[in-house]
Amino acid sequence: MNTTIIEEITEIKKYDSIDGKYGEYGGMYVPPILEGKLLDLAKFFMVTKSQPDFEAEYLHYLKTFVGRPSPLYYAQNLSKLLGSRIYLKREDLNHTGSHKINNTIGQILLAKRMGATEIVAETGAGQHGVATATAAALFGIKCKIFMGSKDAERQKMNLSRIKLLGAEVILTNEGRGTLKDAVDAALGYYIENPDVYYLLGSQVGPHPYPTMVGYFQSIIGREAKKQFFEIEGKLPDNLFACVGGGSNAIGLFADFLYDSDVAIFAAEGGGYGPEMGNTAATLSLGKPGVFQGTYSYALTDDNDEVYHTHSIAAGLDYPGISPQHSLLKDTNRASYHLITDAEAIAAFKLLSKREGIIPAIESSHAVALALKVLKDRPNDISIINLSGRGDKDVERDLM
């Protein structure tokens, strides 16, 4: 092989991983009791994911149960208002109301093949809890959902849905009662009961979760690329998504990472602004360290203690981030921006009133970022990932 081909291959692998390492990020930082389990899971995933019957089963449920492909919708009013053409990838129209179901269907099919009899999961905004309880009901598997008490309060409707679907909810009062605390509780339960299947909901945690979650969400970008090409006959200029742990964002971005003409923008939960304790903008303000089983950016102080976080969006209110996004930040392949609560609320109202689509408050961060970036770009055509619908947020008093 000549060097150019070798260089090309290295280039192609640059942002991806099969062993759980994204540059220096990722890996498996867990107690020995989990290491063997996770290595088995990694091996099982790698072998199973491309087996034709597994792929067929995964795509069957995405089509018939989830309702994929989700539409790529030209947002005519928003585009007119802004003077820049915008398409929305409508993950809000999936069954259960967000992108989370893409990953839960994939993982529960794996769990079923591994013979799992109990599923556990964490949830923040409740969308992953609902998606997991839904998948568990579909396949008749026992299910436990860990949720922080503050999130249970601010996302009441999803708490009721999880219970109705037959899952057991375990509220945690540790910390601030948010997503980080739910992950801690679920990981703790997993360490004590290593025979359960832990169905992690974002692109975080130890290997193989970031690779697995990224893979099952990449359906979003593969569809969007094809849909966009059918309408516009080319690639989009810009992609936008919000990042909590990073799963809906990598879902949209993955298939475009090596298309260097496509600019990639991600919106972080900026809370009240850029001060520790008031924000959840991990890549904008954090630093690399080991957090919840992986080496990645995190909002930690000089003693590696995790700062409290704040975001109005429970799904973004998290001090960690995906190792793959950490690499995309360091290599400048994607840019990460702090969007405040107030900016997200304005976008939430704007999309509702002007387009007739009520977005999740998480997704509203991506809309807010697009509004800022695209102000003076009349010739651009962009895709915003609308990660979820806002039913869960309408009864909250969003100022």
Ligand X SMILES: *Cc1c(COP(=O)(O)O)cnc(C)c1O
The residues annotated with a catalytic role in the active site are 100, 122, 387
Sheet holding 142-148, edge to edge: 168-172, 142-148, 118-123, 197-198
Please state the closest distance from residue 179 (CB atom) to ligand X, in A: 8
Residue 195 phi/psi, 5-degree rounding, is -90, -10
List Cβ neighbours of 96 (8 Å cut-off, separation of 6 or more).
Answer: 127, 130, 131, 134
- Residue with smaller CB distance to ligand X, 202 or 279: 202
Please state the closest distance from residue 270 (CB atom) to ligand X, in A: 14
List Cβ neighbours of 140 (8 Å cut-off, separation of 6 or more).
Answer: none
Please state the closest distance from residue 200 (CB atom) to ligand X, in A: 10
- Residue with smaller CB distance to ligand X, 106 or 246: 246
| Amino acid of residue 236 | P
Per-residue tokens: 380: 């651009």
Per-residue tokens: 252: 């949209």
Residues contacting ligand X: total by CB under 6 A: 22
Binding ligand X by CB under 6 A: which of 100, 144, 154, 333? 100
Hey, is 359 helix, strand or coil? strand
Binding ligand X by CB under 6 A: which of 121, 200, 243, 344? 243
- Residue with smaller CB distance to ligand X, 111 or 243: 243
Query: Which of the ranges 82-90, 104-112, 186-194, 245-253 carries the binding residues for ligand X, by CB under 6 A?
Result: 245-253
Q: How far apart are CA 297 and CA 290, in angstroms?
A: 8
Binding ligand X by CB under 6 A: which of 246, 293, 319, 320? 246
Binding ligand X by CB under 6 A: which of 98, 172, 178, 296? 98
Write the Ramachandran bin of 295: left for phi over 0, alpha for psi from -120 to 50, otherwise beta.
Answer: beta
- Residue with smaller CB distance to ligand X, 181 or 381: 181
- Residue with smaller CB distance to ligand X, 172 or 248: 248
- Residue with smaller CB distance to ligand X, 72 or 213: 213
- Bridge partners (DSSP) listed for residue 25: 22
Hey, is 115 helix, strand or coil? coil
Task: Show the binding pattern over residues 291-320: x = contacts ligand X (CB under 6 A), - = does not.
Answer: ------------------------xx----
Per-residue tokens: 117: 């009899």
* Site for ligand X, residues 195 to 224, rule: CB under 6 A: 202-203
The helix or strand, by DSSP H or E, that contains position 386, with its residue range, turns out to be strand 381-386
* Site for ligand X, residues 148 to 187, rule: CB under 6 A: none
Q: How far is CA 275 from CA 31, 303, 322, 361, in A?
A: 33, 18, 21, 21
Are 59 and 218 in contact, with CB atoms under 8 Å apart? Answer: no
Please state the closest distance from residue 129 (CB atom) to ligand X, in A: 10
Q: Is 20 in the site for ligand X (CB under 6 A)?
A: no
* Site for ligand X, residues 112 to 151, rule: CB under 6 A: 125, 127-128
* Site for ligand X, residues 370 to 399, rule: CB under 6 A: 387-388
Binding ligand X by CB under 6 A: which of 181, 223, 362, 393? 362
Q: How many CA atoms lie within 13 A of 27 on its CB side?
A: 12
- Residue with smaller CB distance to ligand X, 206 or 246: 246
Please state the closest distance from residue 59 (CB atom) to ligand X, in A: 21
Q: How far apart are CA 265 and CA 281, in angstroms?
A: 14
Q: Is 244 in the site for ligand X (CB under 6 A)?
A: yes
Please state the closest distance from residue 350 (CB atom) to ligand X, in A: 17
Nearest to 358, CA basis, from 100, 123, 178, 98: 98
Site residues for ligand X per CB under 6 A: 98, 100, 125, 127-128, 202-203, 242-249, 315-316, 360, 362-363, 387-388
